[in-house]
Structure 1
Amino acid sequence: MPYLEVDDLHVGYGQIAALKGVSLSVEKGQLVTLVGANGAGKTTLLRTISGLLRPSRGSVNFDGQRIDAMEAHKIAGTGLVQVPEGRRIFGRLTVSENLELGAFTRNDKAEIMADKERMMTVFPRLKERFRQLAGTLSGGEQQMVATARALMARPKALLMDEPTMGLSPIMVEQVFDTIQTIHAQGVTILLVEQNALMALSVADYGYVLESGHIVLEGQGDALVDDERVRHAYLG
């Protein structure tokens, strides 16, 4: 059984159908990428998996249990954690306080402090900004905060929604280095990313979403070489 499985998912906004029978799976330890044009339904899919939207049909299963009817905070408690599009950090709180909020489901204070220290190793730049208001950071630094906050929950799996959006080329490379580091530590990742070439290049498996449908899937490197994908997304 897949670690994360989406089966025949239908989601709409009023009369507008955003997802029309989407099915995909992620095995434990995999890095899976979902690519597609703006408006294809990528963010809708992640928001549904994480419990922020309800499907009209279909199911979502994670780590052996069905989660599509669970509340979002309970889904986070299962170990499935989202890094949202646009970072969504708490700008009036410090970097340290943002990280503490990532551990809101935990009670192990000593371990939480140890994990905060570990985040400074994973994201050295945040060590210099630890007491700084998060809203005063650069876009790349805010993305580090958003990712570190999610890791403070000790996730079994991460849903990452457009982590490089709006970042400089140098910061994009740093974000992808971090994603690969997190994956190498054993965290399962479902990545939605506008930079299709880089995302598919690091992925074990990939899916292409168009107008609410999965239209193509395969090994990440195979999709990079697929003429349909190259024409539509890689230029």
Structure 2
Amino acid sequence: MLQVKDLHVFYDQIEALRGVSLSVDERAIVTLIGANGAGKSTLLRSISGILRARSGSIKFAGASIEQAPAHLIARTGLAHVPEGRRLFAKLTVDENLRMGAFRRNDRRAIEDDRERLMDMFPRLRERTAQISGTLSGGEQQMVAMARALMSRPRMLLLDEPSMGLSPLMVDFVFDTITKINGEGITILLVEQNASLALQIATSAYVIESGSISLQGSGVSLLHDERVREAYLG
């Protein structure tokens, strides 16, 4: 579904991604792990069109998107949940969710999706009229994921969804990621909790200093001594 080949991305004169290549099969969960500053978020931002690569190619569902603007990439069915949630902090929970469906005009289906997501994230049903900026970190993460799902994506880019959350909320987020994937949505996951991320991954990549250093199944990397020493403690 997604193919990235020989991607080079710069911040001014600093090369952040150095020839990164990876692929994500349809309905898979692919995990990307690495240290802070390794290039994980840069890769997701390049895929979703927030950053423009200097060279290399990105194909989604067979179409080249490396030169497309972010709003057109979103229309192809690719949704990005960025690090830090990036909610519309002054809007309510319900307004944030409806912003996720701003391109859609199928009102009945929008309401059906909203109800389905309230079932997936029950706490949001109690918070629909609450200003999003006043929510807890875990609740904000629920809103960010639900907002992305309101666009009916084919693929979800998740950037550090468990960051700053309590252990109980981390478990909920990972259970929800598995459920979302079970509904047929492909997932590319960047995650600091390498152990949990690798446990649910179909395949996985390790990125170091802007380059892919290891790749394999989630299980194989979970038991790789180099990964265990560097990322699993």
Using structure 1 for the length normalisation, give the TM-score. 0.98
Pairs within 5 Å for 1:1-235: 3-235=1-233
How far the C-alpha of 1:107 sits from its partner, in A, is 1.1
- Per-residue CA deviation, residues 170-193 of structure 1 (Å, 9 max, x unaligned), is 111110011001011110000000
How far the C-alpha of 1:113 sits from its partner, in A, is 1.2
What letter is aligned with 2:155?
Answer: A
How far the C-alpha of 1:143 sits from its partner, in A, is 0.1
Unaligned runs of 5+ in 1: none
The count of corresponding residues between Structure 1 and Structure 2 is: 233
Q: Could you say what the CA RMSD is over the residues aligned between the two structures, in angstroms? A: 0.5
Q: What is the distance in 1 between the residues matched to 2:24 and 2:122?
A: 30
Unaligned runs of 5+ in 2: none
- Per-residue CA deviation, residues 27-47 of structure 1 (Å, 9 max, x unaligned), is 000000000000000000000
State the SS of the aligned residue for 1:44. helix
| Structure 1 residue runs of 4 or more that deviate by more than 2 Å after TM superposition | none
State the SS of the aligned residue for 1:107. coil
State the SS of the aligned residue for 2:110. helix
State the SS of the aligned residue for 2:90. coil
State the SS of the aligned residue for 1:153. coil
State the SS of the aligned residue for 2:86. coil
Q: What is the distance in 2 between the residues matched to 1:103 and 1:59?
A: 28
- Per-residue CA deviation, residues 3-49 of structure 1 (Å, 9 max, x unaligned), is 10000000010110000000000000000000000000000000000
What letter is aligned with 1:171?
Answer: M
What letter is aligned with 1:159?
Answer: L
How far the C-alpha of 1:114 sits from its partner, in A, is 1.2
- Per-residue CA deviation, residues 46-89 of structure 1 (Å, 9 max, x unaligned), is 00000000111101000010001011011000001101100001
How far the C-alpha of 1:104 sits from its partner, in A, is 1.2
State the SS of the aligned residue for 2:51. coil
What letter is aligned with 2:47?
Answer: I
Q: What is the distance in 1 between the residues matched to 2:115 and 2:201?
A: 29
Q: What is the distance in 2 between the residues matched to 1:224 and 1:102?
A: 34
How far the C-alpha of 1:91 sits from its partner, in A, is 1.2
Greater displacement, 77-86 / 107-116? 107-116
Q: What is the distance in 2 between the residues matched to 1:213 and 1:36?
A: 10
Identity, in percent, stands at 64
State the SS of the aligned residue for 1:55. coil
Greater displacement, 107-116 / 216-225? 107-116
What letter is aligned with 1:18?
Answer: A
Q: What is the distance in 2 between the residues matched to 1:234 and 1:39?
A: 18
Q: What is the distance in 2 between the residues matched to 1:88 and 1:180?
A: 22
